[in-house]
Amino acid sequence: MQKRILGKTGLEVSVVGFGGIPIQKLPMREARRLVGEAVERGINFFDTAQGYGDSEVKIGEGIKGKRNSCILATKSPCRTADEAFSHVKKALKRLKTDFIDLYQVHHVSKPFELEKVLSPKGALEALVRLKKEGMIRHIGITGHNPSLLQEAIRRTDEFETVQFPFNIVESEKDKFSLLNVAKQLKVGSIVMKPLAGGVIPEPQLSLRWILQQGVDTVIPGMILSSEIKENVITGERPHPLSSEELSRLKDSVKDIGKNFCRRCMYCEPCPEGIPIYFIQELGDKAKVKVDEIKNMCKEIYARLKKDVEDCTDCGECEEKCPYQLPVREMLREKHKLLT
């Protein structure tokens, strides 16, 4: 597995890291085995979060006995100093570790949130203190607003890393600008959503395309041994795409557009108990031309305790969506497909 230096942290990270969202779907025993396999195959960077269900617990279990060869990154939506102190201490317990290599302020997407983080008694003040005390080693920031993230890393040199979504479908100019500024400031770059939430049908070409843009590490989510194996092969030989491969990658995504669910699950929980993420995923599967799969999806949908008909149009899901998607409209479309 090739490694790159994660900006001014000086950490030597595997170019393909382990994204911690999907692992929450697995039972503990399988999750522990999967994380162990990732370490054995050369992945040393593990990214999780307070908001990813029991992901922190499972990754902590999985690296037991291997802590010295792993770089642990986690995050929380802390905005105040009190929140940061509390969240870090809880994360240390869940991860069963004495220190966290990289602690990130999670999902800073609006200007007022950044102001709160940077203000006196804000989260950054507490994280700097926790770093001095040795509970965390480095500080980062994550979000879906490239312009705001660029402002954040320009305003303070305390942020040593920046994490943002980037792939060939979501490769707007402001993301290249953020990446360039990060390089200039020696801020480590971590790419989330490298497969656009799983909709890019050429995963290895996508990872290689991202890595050839000069990012430090990319963190696809993994729940299968086959995914680890394929991603590790890419990380061992992340050579730039040929013109033919680039054309193939572009052709594979030309009909995707921008209005699709990235499976981040930030829209949940729904006040009415509607499983938004699951319905989006089920609806996408029902689009296939195989009648057997379509019928299976419809049967599963019919058994749900809560479905789209229970929606009260409160709009909370759309307020929380970092991609500003018309979630309610998308759910209604999925409902039509599944009934």
Asked if the model's pLDDT at residue 12 lies above 70, the reply is yes
Phi, psi of 261 (to 5 degrees): -75, 130
Split into its structural domains, the chain has a count of 2
Query: Are residues 78 and 173 part of one domain?
Result: yes
β-partners of residue 136 are: 100
Q: How many CB atoms lie within 10 A of CB 51?
A: 18
Distance CA 118, CA 95 (A): 27
β-partners of residue 103 are: 74, 139
Is residue 258 in a domain? no
Mean pLDDT, rounded, of the chain: 93
Is residue 52 in a domain? yes
Burial of 230 (0-12, 13-18, 19+ CB in 10 A): middle
Instruction: Convert the pLDDT of each residue in 223-265 to its tens digit.
Output: 999 999 999 999 999 999 999 999 999 998 887 666 778 777 8
Residue ranges making up the domain that contains 36 = 3-253
Query: Are residues 116 and 176 part of one domain?
Result: yes
Distance CA 145, CA 109 (A): 5
Asked if the model's pLDDT at residue 290 lies above 70, the reply is no
Instruction: Write down which residue in 218, 253, 288 finishes a domain.
Output: 253
CATH code of the domain containing 53: 3.20.20.100
Query: Are residues 174 and 113 part of one domain?
Result: yes
Query: Are residues 305 and 232 part of one domain?
Result: no
The more confident residue out of 322 and 46 is: 46
Is residue 259 in a domain? no
Query: Are residues 125 and 172 part of one domain?
Result: yes
Burial of 305 (0-12, 13-18, 19+ CB in 10 A): exposed
Distance CA 316, CA 27 (A): 30
Average pLDDT, stretch 61-84? 97
- pLDDT of amino acid 257: 67
Is residue 261 in a domain? no
230 touches 204 (CB < 8 A): yes
- pLDDT of amino acid 25: 86
β-pair type (3-5, 12-14): antiparallel
Query: Are residues 189 and 116 part of one domain?
Result: yes
Query: Are residues 106 and 143 part of one domain?
Result: yes
Query: Are residues 88 and 47 part of one domain?
Result: yes
Query: Are residues 115 and 21 part of one domain?
Result: yes
Distance CA 244, CA 255 (A): 19
Is residue 46 in a domain? yes
- pLDDT of amino acid 332: 94
- pLDDT of amino acid 322: 85
DSSP readout, 138-174?
A: EEEEE-S-HHHHHHHHHH-TT--EEEEE--SSS--HH
Query: Are residues 209 and 114 part of one domain?
Result: yes
- pLDDT of amino acid 252: 86
Is residue 305 in a domain? yes
Query: Are residues 204 and 300 part of one domain?
Result: no
Residue 139 amino acid letter: I
Instruction: Convert the pLDDT of each residue in 179-225 to its tens digit.
Output: 999 999 999 999 999 988 777 889 999 999 999 999 999 999 999 99
Instruction: Convert the pLDDT of each residue in 301-317 to its tens digit.
Output: 999 999 999 999 999 99
pTM for the predicted model, two decimal places: 0.85
163 touches 142 (CB < 8 A): yes
Give every CB contact of residue 101 below 8 A, 6+ residues apart in sequence. Answer: 11, 71, 72, 73, 136, 137, 138
Is residue 269 in a domain? no
153 touches 185 (CB < 8 A): yes
Average pLDDT, stretch 274-287? 84
Tokens matching residue 1: 């597995």
- pLDDT of amino acid 76: 97
Tokens matching residue 127: 């994280």
Phi, psi of 271 (to 5 degrees): -60, -25
Instruction: Convert the pLDDT of each residue in 74-117 to its tens digit.
Output: 999 999 999 999 999 999 999 999 999 999 999 998 999 999 99
Instruction: Write down which residue in 253, 286, 304 finishes a domain.
Output: 253
> Considering only CA atoms, which of 78, 79, 108 is closest in space to residue 91?
78
> Considering only CA atoms, which of 119, 95, 189, 97 is closest in space to residue 150?
189
Query: Are residues 172 and 24 part of one domain?
Result: yes
172 touches 145 (CB < 8 A): no
Q: How far is CA 19 from CA 210, 217, 220, 336, in A?
A: 15, 11, 5, 32
Average pLDDT, stretch 137-156? 97
Distance CA 281, CA 65 (A): 36
Is residue 263 in a domain? no
